[in-house]
Every structure is written in structure tokens, then in C-alpha cells.
Amino acid sequence: MQMRKLGNLEVSALGLGCMGMSSAYGPPADTAQMVALIRRAHDLGVTHFDTAEAYGPFTNETLLGEALAPIRDKVVIATKFGFNIDPDTGARGPGTNSLPAHIRRVAEDALKRLKTDRIDLFYQHRVDPAVPIEDVAGTVKDLIAEGKVLHFGLSEAGVHTIRRAHAVQPITAVQSEYSLFWRGPEAELLPVLDELNIGFVPFSPLGAGFLTGKIDETTTFDPTDFRNMVPRLAPDARKANMALVELVKDVAAAKGATPAQIALAWLLLQRDAISPIAGTTKLHRLEENLGAAAVVLTAEDLREIKTALAGIEVQGARLPEFVLKMSGL
């Protein structure tokens, strides 16, 4: 697989988001099957694996640690801190917590769960309004000096926060939602990342599955699936937003590819320093997604997609309001 540079960190062009293996999309998947899937991803060229203490909580880091232990030195592990999670019980408190002492505790516990001596990329999961970002960046800078962390990242941060943090400790990557379903980063975020030479890691690059073409207004999600709370994935919104899916399907048919592959191939062409992290619990979907790296979209294809997108207005907010309030965007 082609490699990309996030700052000075080299990763596979396509990464693997591991959240859905343990949380958010319904009941946790079978551990042994997920270990096998993660290792298969590496066999197919993936070196970039994304997790967080919040996924589970804790269980996703443990899963990734087990899966990657035999190949630890061949991969990049990204994890995150910043939510108010009790380190001992896993109980989730309200809001965020990026107090320096808490960041340090999260890092130490993550190292144990991941079975490693360093975290390749350590993100603040959400901006903490109670803690100056300079204090957060300074704490991670200290962890880097100690060799426990190699690179600093921010997730869902606004451009002013990014600039302030970057002045204290250079940021390697910023993670935010970005896809044909949500193009918000194009307005302000991507130009700033280009200016500062910061890599970009789009999460939900397939629109929480919507861009695969396998979901319509009749689809029923598991009661524990977070998509039940997403306004743009409510049944009426899904029905209206099928115009976007039809666009992707048309391009896919012309290219002999799948809609998911077109969505990911489009993302890979938006900038050089990008590594989308599509997630899955199914081996055939993993193989399908990684096939996007071989899909060729021409400049004319991109112009036609851009023109078509201009005529489609996506209905519904991308996340529930209470989640958006925790975002710096």
C-alpha cells in the first residue's frame, strides 16, 4: 500500500479505525475474530491503527494491544485521552478531563493495555474548556521528552486551538470527521493544516456506513448503536440524503468499483498528508475498503463529483447537539 506522511510520521494511506469493534455500533464483536482481522489488515499493508481509552472504555486498547503485540515495531498505534473516565472503574463522568495529572495517568494505563513502551500518536480526544490548551500541549511535550509518547495530535479541535497548541508542541496530526457526507473541514481546517504542515486523519470516512450504499430509510440499527441518535441518519433524513448515495453509486458503476471504494478514493485525493481510518468488523469489508487505494479518479472525475455535490444539500446535523458542544469546530 502507498504510504503517506502525517507531519514526519509515516503511515499507510488507509488506516484502520478500531472503535466499532468494541463500542458505538452495537454489541462488541468477537475478540478472536477482531484480533484476526487486525492482523489481516497489517498483512494487507495497513500500518496505522486508531483506538482510544473511551472505546469500551478500555477494552478496545486491550484488544489492539493483543492483536499488534507480535508486530508492534511494524505499526503506528494512535490512542486518545481527554474524557472524564475513572481510571480504576471505567465509570464515565460528565464532560471532559485534560488535567495534566489525568493525561499522565491515561498515558501510563494505555501503555499497559497496548502492551507497548510508547504511544506513537497521542490525541486529545476533545478540547477541554476548563484546561488551557497550552497546559495540555505542555504535558504531552513532557511525555514526548520522556519517550512515552512520540507524536501529539488533536481531535475535533478548532483552528485557533490548533494554532495555540502547535506553538507549544508541534502537532503531527489532527483528526476530525470528513467525507463526501460531511465536508466541513474544507472551509477553515484544511488550509490551516496545510499552512502548518500537519497531517489529517478523517474519521467516519464512509459516513458511518451510509456511503456504502447498504443503508436506506428502512434500515434498523441495534438499540445500542449510536447512529440512532444522529440527526442526519434519522429515517426521514436518510431518505432525503439518498441523493448523495446515488451519486456515489453512479461513479462506482462507471469505475468498476464499490461505493465505499469511491468514497475513500475521493478522500485520498483531497491532500497528500491524509490517512482516513475506515472501521469495520467484517473481513470482506476490510478487503473492499483497502481496495480503494487502487481506484483511479481523474481530474475530470473529481470535477464532475464536485459539480454534483453542489446540487445536493445534506439533511440533518452530523452529530447530536450534546456531542457537537464538546467539539471545538
Domains present along the chain, CATH in parentheses: 3-207+270-294 (3.20.20.100)
Of the CA atoms within 13 Å of residue 93, those in its CB half-sphere come to 11
- Segment 234-243 long-range contacts (CB within 8 Å, at least 24 positions apart): 234/316, 236/315, 237/315, 237/316, 238/210, 240/315, 241/181, 241/210, 241/314, 241/315, 241/316, 242/216, 242/217, 243/312
- State residue 306's pLDDT score: 97
pLDDT at 329 over 70: no
Quick: pLDDT tens for 105-125: 999 999 999 999 999 999 999
- State residue 323's pLDDT score: 79
Q: Which three cell numbers stand for residue 239?
A: 431518505
123 part of the active site: no
* Residue 176 pLDDT level (bands cut at 50, 70, 90): very high
Q: How far apart are CA 162 and CA 281, in angstroms?
A: 32
**Total Cβ atoms within 10 A of residue 324:** 12
Q: Which entry of 25, 55, 123, 178 is annotated as an active-site residue?
A: 55
Average per-residue pLDDT for the chain? 97
* Residue 295 pLDDT level (bands cut at 50, 70, 90): very high
Q: How far apart are CA 300 and CA 308, in angstroms?
A: 12
- Using CA atoms of 136, 267, 228, 226 in order, give the dihedral in degrees to the nearest 10: -40
Paired residues of 193 in beta bridges: none
- Using CA atoms of 282, 284, 288, 291 in order, give the dihedral in degrees to the nearest 10: 110
Quick: pLDDT tens for 28-54: 999 999 999 999 999 999 999 999 999
Paired residues of 203 in beta bridges: 177
* Pairing label, strands 277-279, 15-17: parallel
Quick: pLDDT tens for 194-241: 999 999 999 999 999 999 999 999 999 999 999 999 999 999 999 999
Q: How far apart are CA 175 and CA 277, in angstroms?
A: 10
Q: How far apart are CA 128 and CA 133, in angstroms?
A: 8
- State residue 42's pLDDT score: 98
Q: How far apart are CA 96 and CA 92, in angstroms?
A: 10
